[in-house]
Amino acid sequence: MKDSDTMTVSRVGQGTLPKWWRDASGLSAGGLVEVRPMRDGKNSIVLTPKPAKRRGATGLLKLFSRCPAPISPPTRHPLTFK
């Protein structure tokens, strides 16, 4: 059995999650939620919002900051124009 699974909350909230909870957890526009079973004998689950992945220049900078060695800039070569 898996320890956790992922569920997508739509922009509408799938009608089962309370609006106050979606607003408090930052899921009013939808997003990903991690689902974990509590194993309490009542089939209870714990929903934890997953943070959105950073995209674009901010995400790229974050990835480069984890590199163990500095990255050298690429060598440039002149292009011929007509």
pLDDT in tens, 32-54: 888 888 888 888 888 888 877 76
Residue 75 covered by a domain: no
Domain membership of residue 71 (yes or no) is no
CA 79/CA 43 separation, integer angstroms: 65
Residue 79 lies in a domain: no
Written as six digits, the tokens of 50 are 């997953």
Residue 74 placed within a domain: no
Host domain of residue 51: 5-65
How many separate domains does the chain show?
Answer: 1
In a domain, 13, yes or no: yes
Average pLDDT, the chain: 79
**9 in any annotated domain:** yes
Q: Does residue 82 sit within a domain?
A: no
The answer to whether the pTM exceeds 0.85 is no
